[in-house]
């Protein structure tokens, strides 16, 4: 079993927080101009890439 470092765990918490829907009051306040979250991610199809994976792929 692998151990998650605190930095990795906090990063994952931040990504989980970003993956929420837009609150209902925002849709109501903007007359439904804002209805979807552009950062929304599906856990099965859109995988997160950690820094180590990005280094291996040659990305920033």
The whole-chain average pLDDT of the chain stands at 89
26: phi then psi, degrees, rounded to nearest 5:
-70, -45
Domain positions in the chain are 22-60
Identify the pLDDT of residue 4: 87
With 0-12 CB in 10 A as exposed, 13-18 as middle and 19+ as buried, what is 8? middle
pTM, two decimals, is 0.72
User: What is the secondary structure of 3-55 as a DSSP string?
Assistant: PPPHHHHHHHHHHHHHTSPPPHHHHHHTTTS--S-TT---TTTS----HHHHH
pLDDT score for 52:
78
The answer to whether 20 touches 36, Cβ cutoff 8 Å, is no
> Can you read off the two tokens belonging to residue 1?
């079993």
pLDDT band at 37 (very low <50, low <70, confident <90, very high): very high
pLDDT, tens only, 8-27: 999 999 999 999 999 999 99
């Amino acid at each position: 079993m692998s151990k998650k470092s605190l930095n990795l765990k906090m990063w994952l918490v931040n990504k989980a927080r970003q993956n929420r829907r837009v609150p209902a009051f925002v849709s109501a306040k903007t007359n439904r101009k804002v209805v979807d979250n552009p950062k929304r991610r599906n856990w099965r199809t859109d995988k997160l890439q950690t820094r180590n994976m990005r280094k291996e792929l040659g990305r920033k």
